[in-house]
């Protein structure tokens, strides 16, 4: 199977290259990027081919592509790949508007290509184990979930993350979709109400465009309440970029999940600060494996474009709620 990457704006592309190269019988063709300097630097660093354009890359007829552009630029790349009849794994959030998500899903359906949303946390062993516990009924009826997906402000390493036009928003856009997806998966239920508070107190100097802190309350159709703290609340000198954790409370008990607990702390003299080094399973590898398997077995991937749309819908509702101070009901419109 021949795979390639369209845009390396999202630095998850770094890890994905290694993941692609680790899959037996997958040939990693190379990358294309509309920022030629960025593409060139990336291609050199990873010893891979740089196509001169997205057209040139698609002309090489890959079986599938990973779309790792800025959030707002997912749409044109997905449409281009779909028209070329190429399967697509798209970075999260699938798009910055629900309309864009719908357009992408429709285009992929018409073209008969797969569209998978990159929610790697579904392949994290502790997250999977907690899903098993919930499904087993050991916790009884689930009452509520308190969840956190925090991080450092990515401004320094990836300036476009704080550019409202390219990213679609700040911490809420960056960090809400993972947990929304996991909660939908755990609860087999859809969000019906969203209430959100956001501000830009943390990293106040990072940007005057986007929020850096957000706390979102969700009500699911089955009556479960959940909160998502999706802030960029880790200081610059924090030992890692962030983390994802959940507390799941049920009638029969509760469990906690810390997806990034498998780590050692290194006091690196070069860095001048403590640094977490993870030693646990690479969830991204599970994501790539599933994308490859869905193409090989010609089946729907375990995470779809629709999952991407539903998570994006919650983000859009959160922004609307933060702006109006009102609870926003889903589905939108």
Residues lying near a second copy in the complex (CB under 8 A): 234-235, 237-239, 267, 269, 272-274
Which tokens hold the place of 114? 């797969």
What minimum distance in Å lies between the beta carbon of 96 and a second copy?
31
State the DSSP string of 102-118.
HHHHHHHHHHT--EEE-
**Residue tagged 């300036």 (tokens):** 159
Closer to a second copy by Cβ: residue 235 or 252: 235
Closer to a second copy by Cβ: residue 149 or 150: 150
Which tokens hold the place of 170? 């700040």
Closer to a second copy by Cβ: residue 23 or 202: 202
State the DSSP string of 57-115.
HHHT--SEEEE-S-GGGHHHHHHHHHHTT-EEEEPSSS-SSHHHHHHHHHHHHHHT--E
Name every residue whose Cβ is closer than 8 Å to that of residue 272 and which is 6 or more positions away in sequence. none
Q: What is the C-alpha separation between 200 and 306, in angstroms, rounded?
A: 30
What minimum distance in Å lies between the beta carbon of 274 and a second copy?
6
What minimum distance in Å lies between the beta carbon of 81 and a second copy?
42
Nearest in space to 302 (alpha carbons), one of 311, 290, 312, 285: 290
Closer to a second copy by Cβ: residue 53 or 256: 256
Which tokens hold the place of 260? 């990034």
Closer to a second copy by Cβ: residue 112 or 272: 272
Closer to a second copy by Cβ: residue 272 or 325: 272
What minimum distance in Å lies between the beta carbon of 237 and a second copy?
5
Burial of 254 (0-12, 13-18, 19+ CB in 10 A): middle
Closer to a second copy by Cβ: residue 61 or 273: 273
What minimum distance in Å lies between the beta carbon of 270 and a second copy?
11
What minimum distance in Å lies between the beta carbon of 151 and a second copy?
13
What minimum distance in Å lies between the beta carbon of 173 and a second copy?
24
Cβ atoms of residues 231 and 150 within 8 Å:
yes
Please state the separation of Cα 39 from the chain's center in Å. Answer: 22
């Amino acid at each position: 199977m021949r795979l390639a990457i369209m845009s390396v704006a999202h630095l998850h592309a770094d890890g994905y290259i290694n993941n692609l190269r680790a899959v037996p019988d997958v040939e990693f063709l190379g990358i294309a990027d509309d920022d030629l300097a960025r593409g060139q630097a990336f291609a050199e660093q990873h010893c891979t081919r740089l196509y001169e354009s997205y057209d040139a890359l698609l002309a090489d007829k890959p079986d599938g592509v990973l779309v790792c552009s800025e959030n707002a630029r997912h749409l044109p790349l997905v449409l281009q790949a779909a028209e070329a009849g190429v399967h697509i794994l798209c970075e999260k959030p699938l798009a910055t508007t629900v309309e864009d998500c719908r357009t992408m899903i429709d285009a992929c359906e018409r073209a008969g290509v797969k569209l998978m949303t990159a929610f790697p946390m579904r392949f994290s062993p502790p997250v999977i184990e907690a899903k098993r516990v919930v499904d087993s009924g050991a916790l009884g009826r689930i009452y509520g979930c308190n969840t956190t997906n925090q991080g450092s402000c990515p401004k320094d390493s990836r300036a476009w993350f704080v550019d409202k036009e390219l990213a679609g928003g700040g911490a809420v856009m960056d960090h809400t979709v993972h947990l929304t997806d996991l909660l939908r998966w755990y609860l087999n239920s859809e969000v019906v109400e969203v209430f959100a508070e956001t501000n830009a107190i943390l990293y106040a100097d990072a940007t005057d465009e986007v929020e850096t802190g957000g706390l979102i309350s969700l009500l699911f159709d089955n009556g479960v309440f959940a909160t998502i703290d999706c802030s960029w609340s880790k200081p610059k000198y924090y030992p890692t970029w962030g983390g994802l954790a959940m507390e799941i409370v049920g009638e029969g008990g509760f469990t906690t999940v810390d997806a990034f607990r498998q780590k050692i702390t290194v006091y690196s003299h070069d860095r001048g600060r403590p640094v977490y080094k993870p030693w646990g399973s690479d969830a991204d590898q599970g994501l790539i494996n599933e994308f490859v398997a869905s193409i090989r077995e010609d089946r729907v991937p375990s995470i779809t474009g629709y999952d991407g749309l539903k998570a994006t819908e919650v983000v859009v509702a959160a922004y609307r709620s933060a702006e109006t101070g009102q609870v926003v009901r889903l589905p939108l419109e």
